[in-house]
Amino acid sequence: MDRRGIALKFSTWFRESKAKKWLWIGLGVFAALQIYFVRELLVALMLFTGLFIVCAIVALVLYLVDRASRWGLDVAGNQAKRALSAAEEISKKPLRRPRSETAQ
């Protein structure tokens, strides 16, 4: 059978209403599956976007807590240096005033 015969058979088969009906049903099913697949992909994209946003917020909070703790440690370190130098100054001063007599 040559190509003409196959093409002729296909054209006569396609002209039948039953074949057209099944072709349209098949195309409808294919389109529905594609739409369903796209919807699944969009839902997955939304879920992963939400998960990414939650992870980004957690990372931002941890970063801000770290920065605040470093700032707090810097302030505490500066206060400790000031307190240490003040204590050193006080320890260098005599406990009695000059020219004072001892109590009896």
CA distance 75 to 73: 5
Arithmetic mean of pLDDT, 72-91: 86
pLDDT at 83 over 70: yes
Looking at residue 104, its pLDDT comes to 62
- The CA radius of gyration of the chain, in Å to the nearest whole number, is 43
- pLDDT tens-digit map of 8-65: 566 665 666 777 787 888 888 888 888 888 889 889 999 999 999 999 999 999 999 9
CA distance 49 to 43: 10
Looking at residue 64, its pLDDT comes to 96
**pTM (whole model) above 0.75:** no
Alpha carbon dihedral 18, 24, 25, 30, in 10-degree steps, equals 150
| CA proximity to 38, closest of 54, 46, 7 | 46
